[in-house]
């Protein structure tokens, strides 16, 4: 098995930040999603009606919408007074974390940005199952480093909840032909949003769906009955074990050498995608394009790579 490249190793690096000064619950982003971190110099302010987007930053000719995450600190809703205060605030001294989310750029404003955490000192923790309420979906895991706890922020969930237009709705035509009835898919996904989307999507195609909330749980599920699954559908950014590491372990097994794998991730890093495809770990789709997924599934089925042994029988 080919050793990890730098692109794979970078999946274990996280950048800590605080949305507000003295935030009691700092967050982290995976560095694969971060394009750069810049100081705020000047911004073009948006009217308060667009909160929590409060401005546009000119990123070398690219308009970058700026998002304040302070609404996560309370009930997820902003009052008119809070929106006006954000609009009028002096943002000097703040930083912008430029994220690439499904090929779209968005700037998350941070009062403090720390150094990248040492992956050797990171302890991965699952999001507590006792958390509930509308805000629970914003956190899809926890990490601990040097006795400090950081929340893994599900930015796709945040943007979907804000209806910001980043997370597309299904582009499938209805009804969908159920060509895949009787096939089993293992879905490795930590985001509650995309767990629900994947479950509904694959069931609409006729699949039997097994969900796993991270790569470690998916690996355990797969190893218990590897011949059960005709397809693996995996996210990449997940706590405990990421999707690449999960599939690398699957490929080391006899049955796992040939099982079709589709990576479905918001990461659009060309180097990461190239390494995944060149090492025959699986196909790659920047989430979440259901039409492209169906086209790929049809190609796999028509080429006997998906459920081939069952068809032959």
- For the stretch 21-40, pLDDT in tens is 877 779 999 888 899 999 99
- Report whether pLDDT(116) > 70: yes
Question: Token pair of 231, please?
Answer: 């397809």
pLDDT, tens digit (0-9, with 9 covering 90-100), for 72-88? 776 666 778 888 888 88
Report the C-alpha gap between 160 and 153 in whole angstroms: 13
CA 108 remoteness from chain centre: 16
Burial of 145-166, coded b for 16+ CB within 10 Å and e otherwise, reads: beeeebbbbbbbbbbbbbebeb
pLDDT at 198 over 70: yes
| Non-local CB neighbours of 202 within 8 Å, separated by 6+ positions | 180, 185, 187, 209, 233
Residue 313 has pLDDT above 50, yes or no: no
Which has more pLDDT, 136 or 295?
Answer: 295
pLDDT of 3 above 50: no
The owner of tokens 């060509």 is 179
pLDDT grade for 2, boundaries at 50, 70 and 90: very low
pTM of structure: 0.77
DSSP run (H or E) holding 153? strand 148-153
Tell me which residue of 224, 186, 20, 234 sits closest to 109, measured CA to CA.
20
Cα–Cα dist 51/29, whole Å:
22
Q: Rounded to an integer, what distance in angstroms lies between the CA atom of residue 52 and that of residue 161?
A: 12
Query: Could you tell me what percent of the chain has a pLDDT over 90?
Result: 41
CA distance 126 to 116: 20
Can you give the pLDDT at residue 308? 57
Mean of the pLDDT values across residues 239-250?
A: 91
- Asked if 147 and 186 touch (Cβ cutoff 8 Å), the reply is no
């Amino acid at each position: 098995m080919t050793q990890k490249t730098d692109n794979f190793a970078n999946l274990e690096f996280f950048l800590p930040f605080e949305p507000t000064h003295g935030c009691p619950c700092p967050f982290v982003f995976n560095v694969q999603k971060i394009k750069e971190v810049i100081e705020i110099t000047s911004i073009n302010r948006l009217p308060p009606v667009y909160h929590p987007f409060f401005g546009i930053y000119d990123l070398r000719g690219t308009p970058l919408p700026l998002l304040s995450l302070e609404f996560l600190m309370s009930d997820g809703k902003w009052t008119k007074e809070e929106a006006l205060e954000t609009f009028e605030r002096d943002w000097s001294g703040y930083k912008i974390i430029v994220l690439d989310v499904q090929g779209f750029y968005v700037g998350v404003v941070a009062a403090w940005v720390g150094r990248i955490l040492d992956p050797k000192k990171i302890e991965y923790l699952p999001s507590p199952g006792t958390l509930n309420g509308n805000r629970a979906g914003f956190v899809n895991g926890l990490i601990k480093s040097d006795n400090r706890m950081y929340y893994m922020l599900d930015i796709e969930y945040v943007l979907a909840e804000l209806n910001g237009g980043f997370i597309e709705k299904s582009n499938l035509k209805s009804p969908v032909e159920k060509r895949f009835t009787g096939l089993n898919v293992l879905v490795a996904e930590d985001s509650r949003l995309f767990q629900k989307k994947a479950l509904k999507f694959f069931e609409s195609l006729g699949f039997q769906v097994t969900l796993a909330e991270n790569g470690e749980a998916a690996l355990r599920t797969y190893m218990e009955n590897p011949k059960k699954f005709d397809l693996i559908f995996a996210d990449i950014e997940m706590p405990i074990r990421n999707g690449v590491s999960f599939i690398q372990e699957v490929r080391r097994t006899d049955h796992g050498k040939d099982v079709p794998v589709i990576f479905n991730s918001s990461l659009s890093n060309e180097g990461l995608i190239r390494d995944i495809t060149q090492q025959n770990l699986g196909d790659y789709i920047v989430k979440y394009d259901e039409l492209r997924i169906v086209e790929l599934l049809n190609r796999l089925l028509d080429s006997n790579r998906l459920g081939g042994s069952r068809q032959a029988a």
